[in-house]
Structure 1
């Protein structure tokens, strides 16, 4: 995940407050203002001595940046950098920080060489766009291709422990989590954004499935639903495949009647155990939530198909079969 630093030079309390409310990871300010920053919020504070700025005006500057970064020095490439020199530096060192003065420049910095800078130092002139920068660069995890799958079987599966994932975010219609009995075939389980005459909407919640199921995490990782805990990040996905991050606030693990839902996408078949209740929904290709109570064989729902093979949630290449 990328780190976003707000450069509070010169010191401006109004802009600094905006930066803290936007969710930046750190603040860069002069040594005499460190305590003033800490008095406003719990945040990492850096000084120009810890993260100096270097302008890339020549090939010599590029070579100096590589030398200093390879020596372990923290360094931010100053506003006005161009793509080719940055690409040359990124090809030689693991961590690069770039100053950005707008949302457009932040987007560019985040995507150079399909990897981007590890640290974005947002300048005061970009303060008005800071919330958008954090949302797009830090929370967004790119796009995941989803495909329609045809439901082939729905049957009662007895009682089981199911996991409600309550996040600290308000999810929207069309959003949910990718969950399945195999990491190679996960279903877009819709958040509880819909209300009915009996139950109010709980848009922070995804009633995600049985304890043993895989769920997708940021960084192309997975874990079992039972392994989630407060403070851990989960991947939120919408019907178009756009992704973001939500933090788990709590889990609710309870024994409930379960359904086993099987679906087929092309030549692949996958299944998921979900609670048998009207409020639990999968997602149709157009983004419309469909309750497991009204779901029928032949209906289409959105899934992600992938290659099997995970070890402690990390993708591995191995002769493995999940079913």
Structure 2
């Protein structure tokens, strides 16, 4: 599970207590500080990370001379800080910089001795030598905190690959929330954790929302086809995502916000044209589609950069990003179904054989071949909607 450590060392003093309170309230995993007394005031639910001898990561982010000289010149001070921290029950982890293999070996040996507070390492990656050192640290230490000097994420990819089998946790320094969201997605696995310096308590709560952003497992329902009719020319939307759909995946689309049909992607072979494994021929532009955070959008609102839910026949979901949406006039077909509770679920799609929906078990069904009594997969929403958000109000859609 991904996590965050809040770095207090560069938080403005007027904001410090508010940030500390926010970190505890938002259940941040850890707090980093050079102030052992401050860390000692935190509850044991927070991992208290002490940087002995003063700033390490903050200075490295600036690339200043103090950090470059911090390795050997502070060893004695860091060692003293280590002994002090070990005698202080308010410290859970020591974070010390390593710049050579010998320093890394010393940290690893300290952890193997298991004689006190676990030692984590910090490394500033600026070239191939320090990149290889960070890979070694990720394999040897319980926590390896890495600051990457350059904006490219290729070095992070290399460390993630090198540390695939490591038991320790990789923590990446990020400059803002946007970078945090990127770091968590690198190689689909992402960094185990991040180290973030907030400017205010608001930043802490925004980070908490980012950490909690997951897609739900949906309970899909079986819908029974009532009728199918040709309704004439209208505008339909093809949704082209930036992801490759699985064979049993699609997106949820419906004419009413209370119910959706699982529309199939074009992953399966078709005559006369190649597959489009990124595409769903979704439906008429008035239709709702379900996105992350239990929010709906009209297909007319979907465009490049929009986020939607890819949904599998077993109800699993994942976030996908839209690359483009294609709006074109085509003959349309209305499919009316009902759920077991009698609820009406309607879908209007392009009237063509190659447009398909999914049935129970992920069965692929061509919309022009549907018959009364056929079963489709769908999702029944429990909430009414206003501007796409769930709301507890009376609303009837016909």
Q: Could you state the TM-score of these two structures normalised by the residue count of structure 2?
A: 0.52
- How big is the shift at 1:122? 8.8
Give 1:126-165 correspondences, 5 Å limit.
127-128=163-164, 131=187, 133-134=189-190, 141-165=215-239
**Counterpart check, 1:216 vs 2:169:** no
Q: What CA distance in whole angstroms lies between the structure 2 residues aligned with 1:172 and 1:154?
A: 27
**Counterpart check, 1:199 vs 2:240:** no
**Counterpart check, 1:305 vs 2:380:** yes
Residue pair 1:308, 1:322 contacting (<8 A) in 2 also? no
**SS of match in other structure, 2:255:** strand
- How big is the shift at 1:295? 1.6
**SS of match in other structure, 2:21:** helix
What's the Cα RMSD here?
A: 3.8
**SS of match in other structure, 1:70:** helix
**Closer, same or farther in 2 for the Cα pair 1:288/1:73, shift >3 Å?**
closer
Specify every segment of 5 or more residues in structure 1 that has no aligned partner in the other structure, as ranges: 8-45, 52-63, 87-98, 100-120
**Counterpart check, 1:260 vs 2:212:** no
**Counterpart check, 1:85 vs 2:38:** no
Counterpart of 1:271 in structure 2 is 346
Counterpart of 1:315 in structure 2 is 390
1:6-34 superposed Cα distances (whole Å, 9 cap, x missing partner): x9xxxxxxxxxxxxxxxxxxxxxxxxxxx
Which of 370, 380, 384 is equivalent to 1:295?
370
- How big is the shift at 1:307? 2.6
**Closer, same or farther in 2 for the Cα pair 1:320/1:73, shift >3 Å?**
closer
**Closer, same or farther in 2 for the Cα pair 1:152/1:314, shift >3 Å?**
same
**SS of match in other structure, 1:286:** helix
Residue pair 2:233, 2:330 contacting (<8 A) in 1 also? yes
Give 1:1-323 correspondences, 5 Å limit.
49=9, 68-70=20-22, 77=30, 85=45, 127-128=163-164, 131=187, 133-134=189-190, 141-266=215-340, 267-323=342-398
Between 1:134-143 and 1:147-156, the stretch displaced more is 134-143
- How big is the shift at 1:172? 1.0
Q: What CA distance in whole angstroms lies between the structure 2 residues aligned with 1:227 and 1:255?
A: 17
Residue pair 2:8, 2:31 contacting (<8 A) in 1 also? no
1:25-56 superposed Cα distances (whole Å, 9 cap, x missing partner): xxxxxxxxxxxxxxxxxxxxx988458xxxxx
Counterpart of 2:104 in structure 1 is none
**Closer, same or farther in 2 for the Cα pair 1:156/1:219, shift >3 Å?**
same
- How big is the shift at 1:289? 1.5
Residue pair 2:7, 2:31 contacting (<8 A) in 1 also? no
Q: Could you state the TM-score of these two structures normalised by the residue count of structure 1?
A: 0.63
- How big is the shift at 1:174? 0.8
Q: What CA distance in whole angstroms lies between the structure 2 residues aligned with 1:244 and 1:160?
A: 30
- How big is the shift at 1:312? 1.1
Q: Which has the higher contact order (CA 8 A, sep 6+)?
A: 1
1:213-246 superposed Cα distances (whole Å, 9 cap, x missing partner): 1000100000100001101111110100000011
Q: What CA distance in whole angstroms lies between the structure 1 residues aligned with 2:376 and 2:145?
A: 44
**Closer, same or farther in 2 for the Cα pair 1:303/1:134, shift >3 Å?**
farther
Q: What CA distance in whole angstroms lies between the structure 2 residues aligned with 1:152 and 1:66?
A: 58
Residue pair 2:360, 2:377 contacting (<8 A) in 1 also? yes
- How big is the shift at 1:270? 1.2
**SS of match in other structure, 2:164:** helix
- How big is the shift at 1:133? 3.7
